[in-house]
Amino acid sequence: MTQMTGCELANQIVEINPKIKMVLITAYDDIVNNALNLEIVKKPITISKIMEIVKKYMNGAVI
């Protein structure tokens, strides 16, 4: 994304719907604005790790 950071996007998403669960997946080491205390996962990441994270956050969720 060239116009905003992932953390900035997450902040805007929370303004629209604060119940949305998010995890930040990034290749960067210097996450500056993690005001939402998002879980940060470093790239490269495997599909199995992504599935593990999704299961963790979906556990008990009402869909």
1 located within any domain: no
Residue 60: pLDDT band with limits 50, 70, 90: low
| Reported pTM | 0.67
Is residue 26 situated within a structural domain? yes
pLDDT of 32 above 60: yes
- Note whether residue 18 is domain-resident: yes
Is 33 within the bounds of a domain? Answer: yes
User: What's the distance, CA 11 to chain centroid?
Assistant: 11
pLDDT higher than threshold 80 for residue 2: no
pLDDT-derived band at 5 (thresholds 50, 70, 90) equals confident
Residue 63 covered by a domain: no
Instruction: Domain of residue 48: give its range.
Output: 6-58
Q: Which helix (H) or strand (E) holds 5?
A: none
- Predicted local confidence at residue 1, as pLDDT: 64
Give which of 36, 35, 5 is closest to 22, Cα–Cα: 36
Count how many domains the chain has: 1
Radius of gyration of the chain (CA): 13
What is d(CA 22, CA 14) in angstroms, rounded to the nearest whole number?
9
User: pLDDT at position 16, please?
Assistant: 96
